[in-house]
Amino acid sequence: MLNLKGSTRCQTCFEVHGHSDKGQIRPRNEDYFSYFIPTDQRIVDALGSLFVVSDGVGGHVAGEVASAEAVNVILQEYYFGDHAEKPSQRLKDAFAHASLHIFDLASHHKRFANMQCTLTALLLRQGQYFIAHAGDSKAFLLRDRTLTQLTKDHSLVAKLVRMGLVSPEQAKTHPYRHMLIRALGESPLLQIDMFSGSSEPGDIFCLITDGILEHLTEEELRQSLLKKTGMDSIQKKIVDIVNERGGCDNMTILTVKVTEVC
């Protein structure tokens, strides 16, 4: 049971922008993103703000349903579910609940059979970040002009790269680069990666689905995020470039700039 005492005034500590596009090839957009920044300072202090992206796994039926359901369920469960009070454990519990929800839908509704999705969730609270993750969507942190990937991809080819069996260059064009070894919906119990660290004013967290880096390098992403033209136009330009280069997958980018630690 959360104990919410104190002021209800809430200060804005983030600049948030998001853009999603179906690309040039796919008939529909199976990506989904959303976020929640509480307006009550007591909830901000207790639970922080949560930002989430998901990619309905390509080729699976109702991938767009899976991604939307996963994002909405984790947000609902994190803020309103009966889970642990500690934010990091609460995030993990909400993530597990979303995973089980997708599995149940896929198991009991024929039209949703075999649907799966990735899920990457970023929680910012009191100068700390927590990330819960499964799949091959990615979370990056841009700090002091350095772009660092905070998550680990759960794809077959990424695992082969970590084992030294495939080079990073070979991985970019490997025929199985999109084959996931971990995703929501594959089983009732999902192994969830958790990452954490400190956040600072000026930090830019960037959550993307894999379609962004299908035609864009990490260095190009870094250079784009460093521009001073405004994040809305930066994101639109990124999507335009990816589409100009083929746009073979859905693409989503969600950025959160920390303006003040709260």
Burial class (CB in 10 A: 0-12, 13-18, 19+), 179: middle
- pLDDT for position 58: 53
Q: Which two tokens stand for residue 105?
A: 């839908």
Kindly report the pTM of this predicted structure: 0.92
- pLDDT for position 6: 40
Q: Which two tokens stand for residue 110?
A: 């024929």
Give yes or no for a contact between 52 and 35, defined as CB atoms under 8 angstroms apart. yes
Token look-up 């202090």 returns: 45
- pLDDT for position 176: 75
Backbone angles phi, psi at 20, to 5 degrees: -135, 140
- pLDDT for position 222: 98
- pLDDT for position 159: 83
- pLDDT for position 151: 98
- CB neighbours of 218 closer than 8 A, spacing ≥ 6? 140, 147, 149
pLDDT along the chain (262 residues), means of 10: 44 89 95 96 95 84 92 98 93 98 92 92 98 98 98 88 84 80 93 97 98 96 96 98 96 97 78
- pLDDT for position 84: 86
Helix or strand (DSSP H, E) at 106 = helix 87-108
Distance, CA of 76 to CA of 51 (rounded, Å): 12
Distance, CA of 207 to CA of 196 (rounded, Å): 15
CA distances to 42, 75, 91, 114, 115 from 186, rounded to whole Å, are 37, 21, 20, 8, 8
Burial class (CB in 10 A: 0-12, 13-18, 19+), 171: middle
Distance, CA of 249 to CA of 17 (rounded, Å): 21
Q: Which domains does the chain have, with CATH numbers?
A: 29-258 (3.60.40.10)
Token look-up 């927590």 returns: 130
- pLDDT for position 113: 86
- pLDDT for position 60: 63
